Amino acid sequence: MKGLILSLGLAGFVFAGGEAIFKSKGCNACHKPDKDTPMGPSLKTIQGAYGGDVNALVKYLKGQAEARVWPDKAAIMKAQLNKLKGLSDAELKALAEYILGK
């Protein structure tokens, strides 16, 4: 909820917060908060690779940057990025902030 209220304040129009997007797109099926699984790296591991760089993560989510975390499994994740097509820049930023624990 905090994300939604914050988003409303920042963008001035209604959109789902980062956590809501993450869950509604099924990202949490492969990404757990702090434990890597065979399905995917944890959010903590992703945070380690991005070091709080929201802009770099947004670029990745838009398909404009190479994978940093497990490059040998990048193809699995690349297919997931299609689910994010149609999200606004503000929504992608909220999603990136959620992933990076901001």
Using alpha carbons, list the distances in angstroms from residue 102 to 31, 56, 70, 78: 17, 14, 22, 24
Q: Is 84 in the site for ligand HEC (CB under 6 A)?
A: yes
Q: Is 102 in the site for ligand HEC (CB under 6 A)?
A: no
100, 57 Cβ separation under 8 angstroms? yes
* Per-residue binding letters, 1-20, with ligand HEC (x by CB under 6 A): --------------------
Binder among 47, 62, 70, 90 for ligand HEC (CB under 6 A): 70
Q: Is 30 in the site for ligand HEC (CB under 6 A)?
A: yes
- Cβ atoms within 10 Å, residue 55: 10
Using alpha carbons, list the distances in angstroms from residue 51 to 56, 66, 101: 10, 16, 10
The footprint of ligand HEC (CB under 6 A) covers 25-27, 29-31, 39-41, 46, 49, 57, 60, 67-70, 73-74, 76-77, 80, 83-84, 95, 99
